[in-house]
């Protein structure tokens, strides 16, 4: 029973609810309970681990039954900085604090007994400083250190091979020596595995690697060490590492800051790890460095406007070996009889030359599978996924047609289900087909494939990377996984097959993404003393992006000018409202209601509702509404009106509708 003498706790539940949930604090917990305490509470027929957000003696306005907290969990309190960070993420990315809490504190972490602390054993080199820097690196490091002291974010723009990683290591080493903790973020697990080997030689067991593919037990151990460690540590993690319970955080480093992998798409919170790291650094008064050879236009804009300090490294550590570029017109080569399968004679001659010299070749195609689709040669039918409105990819090795969105697959047979004739043939190519053709053309070469299928197991991924780095593989066929930050000493030839697929999705970022991909790929070769060559096979040789790349001109000023002219980021903020449901008519009616109410919520510039390129996923039909908000407007206030308005609309007429917001979508 509620009385005036009760103490009430408002808690954060790991659920998508926006209302405040309050519980009575049993008398035996009152002296032990604080803001940030973990408690066990009943809610809607289940029990959950929750975090106390507030304590008061004032009873809530809620008129129903108020239940008691069941137990106090034996977990160290969440800090005020953690809760502040969760609330910022929830507000900015337009989701509930509970969804952020769930991402920050997965349920398996609560199911634990505190382990006995292992004695920290450092590697033999842990007390030794990293290798010396060049004059250019030292100058860049000095400027970054000045920025860290003044809490000014640094954008480190360094050409590939300029030695950005060495600067990161120096920054981490100095912070660690001061007794501060460090967060180093990378966009891909493969990169974390390569970098962790280098970092371990310096930091030993003070290095903690954290990502979502680890077992719950491993992630639980890392979480506990970050929470409870008295020794300074270095965390190397992917985007989710921003939610670890940091304290005494000295430096945050975001490598390959331009990479789209930092943006979470499913589930909520749909946050950007890079942008969240900036806020995390402010909360902890830590220094922050964003590094890339091809910075995002958002970061370049922030450096132009004085929000970031730009530090540049324009020379490679081992000297300038700018790659030569060749643009091959595949349509013209086909007419001249100078194509063999997927490859131009020019490309094949270059591969032969590399093989004769003992050098390596990387062949890039950003499509896994044997072919992206199959089509009947008699009736033209293309098999589609039963649950998604997308064509199914053909995987020859597995003998299946598979959907890369929902993972539905079925056995491949050449018999067309529409006309009954044996006419299903592959259209286009993926890495599997490229690998097959390369093995046929160069039977003496050591060939491997690096994509999501061949690297499903950590051991296989590590094995392929190590063998290619050691020169035990002559030709590596890979997707964009191999474009990010790897250092291969003997790699001197990079070949892009069907390069125009980079422009398959037309949006305002396509040119930026394509240029970043080209520059990053080119940077994988010529990392030491050998000059590299990059070949782009294209049916659009006059495309401005290829011409700019050939001339080593990224044309950032023009791209920014066009973004400003058409009111696209970084000059505006974008919000995508995604409306899903099993019934197409229901979601269409709901979306129309949202669009009619947007002006009342302070939105004047929006488009939609409209169907996206993939308009059905996992059985749900999809409609999108895109909102543009001026940087001069009160964005926080408008976001709040939108979320509150949509919540009321869902209660009134949202049966069968799923709706969410994607702030700063990529």
| Residue 113 exposure: Cα atoms within 13 Å on the Cβ side | 1
Per-position b or e across 385-405, b if 16+ CB within 10 A of its CB: bebbebbbbbbeeeeebbbbb
Q: Under 8 Å CB-to-CB from 401, ≥6 apart: which residues?
A: 374, 383, 392, 393, 394, 395, 409, 410, 411, 412
Which of 239, 238, 262, 235 has its CA nearest to residue 248? 235
**Burial class, 463, CB count within 10 angstroms (exposed 0-12 / middle 13-18 / buried 19+):** middle
pLDDT at position 465: 86
For the chain, helix, strand, coil in percent to 5 are: 35, 25, 40
d(CA 502, CA 546): 11
Q: Is the pLDDT of residue 488 over 90?
A: no
Q: Is the pLDDT of residue 106 over 80?
A: no
Spatial contact of 227 and 245, defined as CB atoms under 8 Å apart: yes
Give yes or no for a cis peptide into 457 (omega within 30° of 0): no
d(CA 325, CA 347): 12
- Phi, psi for residue 366 in degrees, rounded to 5: -85, 45
Q: Under 8 Å CB-to-CB from 62, ≥6 apart: which residues?
A: 22
Q: Which range has the worst mean pLDDT, 19-23, 79-83, 121-125, 557-561?
A: 121-125
Band (pLDDT 50/70/90 cuts) for residue 121 is very low
Q: Is the pLDDT of residue 414 over 50?
A: yes
Q: Are strands 249-255 and 181-185 parallel, antiparallel or unpaired?
A: parallel
Domains of the chain: 8-105 (3.40.1440.60), 135-313 (3.40.50.300), 324-368+430-559 (3.40.50.300), 572-663 (3.30.70.600)
| 1 compared with 362, residue with greater pLDDT | 362
Q: Rank 14-18, 160-164, 420-424 by mean pLDDT and report only the highest.
A: 420-424
pLDDT at position 527: 56
Q: Which range has the worst mean pLDDT, 268-277, 458-467, 584-593, 605-614?
A: 458-467
- The string of pLDDT tens digits covering residues 200-247 is 999 999 999 998 888 888 888 999 899 988 899 999 999 999 999 999
| 183 compared with 198, residue with greater pLDDT | 183
Name the packing angle between helices 273-284 and 80-92 (round to 10°).
Answer: 140
pLDDT at position 427: 94
Give yes or no for a cis peptide into 570 (omega within 30° of 0): yes
User: In angstroms, what CA-CA distances link 272 with 239, 241, 249, 266, 278?
Assistant: 8, 12, 20, 12, 10
pLDDT at position 115: 42
3-state secondary structure 303-348: HHCCCCEEEEECCCCCCCCCCEEEEEEHHHHHHCCCEECCEEHHHH
- The string of pLDDT tens digits covering residues 367-412 is 999 999 999 999 999 999 999 999 999 999 999 999 999 999 999 9
Name the packing angle between helices 189-203 and 458-469 (round to 10°).
Answer: 70
**Burial class, 116, CB count within 10 angstroms (exposed 0-12 / middle 13-18 / buried 19+):** exposed
pLDDT at position 113: 40
Q: Under 8 Å CB-to-CB from 342, ≥6 apart: which residues?
A: 429, 433, 434, 437, 497, 498
pLDDT at position 551: 84
Q: Which residues pair with 374 in a beta bridge?
A: 426
State percent of the chain over pLDDT 70: 94
The angle formed by the CA atoms of residues 601, 605 and 610, to the nearest 5 degrees, is 95
d(CA 510, CA 112): 46
Per-position b or e across 36-65, b if 16+ CB within 10 A of its CB: bbbbebeeeeeebbbbbbeeeeeeeeeeee
Q: Are strands 572-581 and 658-663 parallel, antiparallel or unpaired?
A: antiparallel
Q: Is the pLDDT of residue 361 over 90?
A: yes
- The string of pLDDT tens digits covering residues 574-593 is 999 999 999 999 999 999 99
Q: What is the mean pLDDT of residues 528-541?
A: 86
Band (pLDDT 50/70/90 cuts) for residue 505 is confident
pLDDT at position 20: 84
Spell out where 122-248 has E strands.
Answer: 154-158, 181-185, 207-210, 234-237
Q: What is the mean pLDDT of residues 252-257?
A: 97
Mean pLDDT, the chain, integer: 90
Which of 532, 352, 350, 344 has its CA nearest to residue 445? 352
Q: What is the mean pLDDT of residues 456-463?
A: 81
Q: Which residues pair with 576 in a beta bridge?
A: 626, 662
- The string of pLDDT tens digits covering residues 594-639 is 999 999 999 999 999 999 999 999 999 999 999 999 988 899 999 9
pLDDT at position 194: 79
Give yes or no for a cis peptide into 609 (omega within 30° of 0): yes
d(CA 630, CA 632): 5
Q: Which range has the worst mean pLDDT, 225-229, 482-486, 548-552, 596-600?
A: 482-486
Spell out where 57-165 has E strands.
Answer: 71-72, 154-158
Alpha helices in 160-188 (DSSP H): 164-177
| 575 compared with 528, residue with greater pLDDT | 575
Spatial contact of 291 and 257, defined as CB atoms under 8 Å apart: yes
Q: What is the mean pLDDT of residues 334-356?
A: 96
H or E segment to which residue 578 belongs: strand 572-581
- What is the edge-to-edge ordering of all strands in the sheet holding 393-395? 393-395, 400-402, 409-411
Coil, strand or helix: which one is 173?
helix
- The string of pLDDT tens digits covering residues 280-337 is 999 999 999 999 999 999 999 999 999 999 999 988 765 556 789 999 999 999 999 9
Q: Has this prediction a pTM greater than 0.85?
A: yes
Band (pLDDT 50/70/90 cuts) for residue 122 is very low
């Amino acid at each position: 029973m509620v009385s005036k003498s009760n103490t009430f706790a408002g808690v954060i539940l790991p659920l998508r609810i926006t209302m405040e949930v309050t519980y009575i604090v049993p008398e035996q917990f009152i002296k032990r309970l604080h803001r940030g305490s973990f408690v066990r509470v009943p809610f809607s027929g289940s029990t959950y681990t929750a975090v106390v957000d507030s304590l008061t003696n004032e009873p809530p306005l809620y008129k129903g039954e108020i239940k008691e907290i069941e137990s106090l969990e034996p977990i160290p309190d969440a800090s005020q900085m953690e809760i502040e960070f969760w609330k910022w993420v929830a507000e900015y990315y337009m989701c509930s604090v509970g969804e952020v809490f769930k991402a920050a504190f997965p349920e398996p972490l609560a199911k634990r007994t505190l382990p006995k602390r292992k004695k920290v054993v450092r590697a033999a080199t842990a007390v030794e400083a990293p290798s010396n820097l060049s004059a250019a690196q030292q100058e860049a490091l000095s400027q970054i250190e000045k920025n860290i002291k003044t809490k000014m974010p640094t954008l480190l723009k360094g050409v590939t091979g300029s030695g950005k990683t060495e600067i990161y290591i120096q920054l981490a080493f100095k912070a660690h020596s001061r007794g501060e903790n460090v967060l180093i973020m990378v966009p891909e697990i493969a990169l974390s595995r390569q970098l962790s080997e280098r970092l371990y030689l310096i930091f030993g067991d003070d290095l903690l690697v954290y990502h979502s593919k680890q077992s719950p037990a491993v992630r639980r151990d890392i979480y506990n060490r970050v929470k409870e460690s008295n020794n300074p540590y270095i965390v190397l993690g992917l985007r989710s590492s921003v939610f670890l319970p940091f304290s005494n955080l000295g430096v945050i480093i975001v490598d390959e800051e331009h990479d789209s992998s930092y943006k979470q798409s499913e589930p909520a919170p749909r946050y950007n790890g890079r942008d969240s790291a900036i806020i995390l650094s402010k909360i902890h008064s830590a220094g922050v460095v964003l590094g890339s050879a091809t910075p995002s236009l958002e970061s370049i804009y922030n450096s132009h406007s004085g929000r970031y300090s730009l530090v540049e490294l324009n020379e490679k550590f081992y000297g300038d070996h700018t790659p030569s570029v060749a643009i091959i017109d595949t349509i013209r080569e086909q007419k001249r009889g100078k194509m063999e399968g997927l490859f131009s004679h020019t490309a094949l001659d270059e591969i032969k030359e590399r093989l004769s010299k003992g050098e390596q070749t990387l062949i890039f195609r950003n499509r896994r599978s044997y072919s992206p689709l199959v089509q009947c040669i008699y009736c033209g039918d293309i098999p589609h996924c039963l649950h998604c409105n997308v064509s199914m990819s053909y995987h020859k090795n597995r003998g299946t047609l598979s959907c890369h969105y929902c993972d539905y697959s079925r056995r491949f047979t050449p018999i067309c289900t529409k006309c009954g004739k044996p006419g299903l043939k592959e259209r286009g190519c993926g890495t599997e087909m490229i690998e097959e053709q390369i093995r046929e053309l160069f039977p003496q070469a050591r060939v491997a494939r690096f994509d999501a299928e061949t690297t499903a197991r950590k051991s296989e991924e590590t094995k392929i990377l190590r063998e290619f780095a050691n020169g035990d593989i002559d030709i590596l066929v890979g997707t964009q996984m191999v474009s990010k930050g790897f250092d291969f000493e003997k790699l001197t030839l990079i070949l892009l097959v069907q390069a125009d697929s980079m422009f398959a999705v037309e949006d305002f970022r396509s040119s930026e993404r394509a240029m970043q991909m080209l520059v990053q790929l080119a940077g994988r070769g010529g990392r030491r003393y050998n000059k590299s060559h990059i070949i782009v096979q294209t049916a659009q040789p006059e495309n401005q992006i290829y011409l700019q790349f050939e001339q080593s001109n990224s044309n950032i000023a023009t791209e920014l000018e066009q973004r400003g002219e058409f009111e696209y980021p970084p000059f505006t903020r974008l919000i995508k409202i995604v409306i899903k449901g099993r019934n197409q008519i229901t979601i269409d009616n709901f979306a129309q209601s949202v669009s009619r109410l947007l002006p009342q919520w302070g939105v004047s510039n929006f488009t939609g509702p409209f169907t996206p390129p993939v308009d059905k996923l996992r059985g749900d039909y999809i409609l999108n509404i895109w909102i543009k908000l001026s940087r001069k407007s009160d964005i926080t206030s408008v976001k709040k009106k939108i979320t509150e308005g949509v919540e009321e609309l869902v209660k009134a007429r949202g049966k069968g509708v799923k709706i969410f917001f994607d702030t700063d979508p990529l």
